[in-house]
């Protein structure tokens, strides 16, 4: 069976996340239904990452197989056409045929996320549901300095959801930077894989460093505790974006 890879952009606001869930709209289900509509057979998508409810993607990757050969351009056009007709907040940005060894999840070498904070007194309009609105000034230099303690291989038990199903809490963060451009603060993070809620837990913890409520040592102590109760607040889903997957 021919195998295809697609890159996907979506606004996660109206969805329960990437993965199918009974009784709730998901990105995976919406795309599967659209491809099934023109292929006339069941289709199963396998994604590079399981984004949560309200999380966005600029470059999610998925693969699937079809019963017969289709030109990638035809899949691209047909899928986007039906998604648009259905009013879905999803777009396919690229489609290509791949060999049978390609797996969107297990072939991935690194995943990249971005967390957006808009730091200003005025409420958000255009960025509502697209970023975390924080009214009072944040110290970005302190946030970035504290973030450097978390780079490398660590037990991230403190920074993962109690519902996380990963067998091990050990992960290696290759990049964790905090930068400001005007009123926007970006937290960029890269790793081969992440734990459930890890990025949002890191973002929420770094935010309270920016508030002055925690310092660099508090973050180090939280990491060393390996205790979920020692984590800062989990940042809202609306600020998180899956921005790239390397293969």
Residues known to be catalytic: 52
CB 150 within 8 A of CB 164: no
CB 64 within 8 A of CB 35: yes
Q: What is the spatial distance between Cα 122 and Cα 135, in angstroms, rounded to a whole number? A: 7
- Confirm if 3 and 63 have CB atoms less than 8 A apart: yes
What 3-state DSSP class applies to 104?
coil
- Asked whether the beta carbons of 96 and 72 are under 8 A apart, the reply is yes
Q: Where are the beta strands (DSSP E) in 27-100?
A: 46-47, 56-65, 90-98
- The residue behind tokens 């002055």 is 212
Helical axes 72-86 vs 27-39, angle rounded to 10°: 120
A 10 A CB-CB count for 236 gives 18
d(CA 186, CA 180): 6
């Amino acid at each position: 069976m021919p195998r295809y890879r697609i890159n996907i952009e979506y606004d996660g606001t109206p969805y329960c996340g990437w993965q199918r869930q009974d009784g709730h709209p998901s990105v995976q289900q919406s795309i599967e239904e659209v491809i099934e509509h023109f292929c006339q057979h069941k289709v199963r998508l396998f994604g590079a990452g399981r984004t949560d409810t309200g999380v966005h993607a600029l470059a999610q990757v998925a693969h699937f197989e079809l019963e017969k050969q289709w030109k990638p351009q035809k899949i691209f056009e047909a899928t986007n056409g039906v998604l648009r007709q259905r009013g879905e907040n999803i777009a396919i940005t690229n489609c290509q045929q791949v060999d049978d060894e390609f797996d969107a999840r297990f072939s991935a070498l690194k995943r990249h996320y971005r967390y957006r904070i808009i730091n200003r007194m005025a409420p958000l309009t255009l960025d509502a549901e697209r970023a975390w609105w924080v009214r009072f000034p944040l110290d970005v230099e302190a946030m970035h300095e504290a973030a450097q303690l978390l780079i490398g291989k660590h037990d991230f038990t403190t920074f993962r959801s109690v519902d996380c199903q990963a067998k091990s809490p050990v992960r290696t963060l290759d990049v964790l930077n905090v930068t400001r451009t005007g009123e926007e603060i970006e937290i960029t993070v890269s790793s081969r894989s992440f734990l459930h809620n890890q990025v949002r837990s890191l973002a929420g913890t770094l935010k309270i460093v920016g508030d002055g409520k925690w310092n660099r040592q508090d973050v180090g102590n939280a990491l060393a505790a390996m205790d979920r109760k020692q984590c800062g607040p989990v940042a809202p889903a609306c600020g998180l974006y899956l921005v790239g997957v390397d293969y």
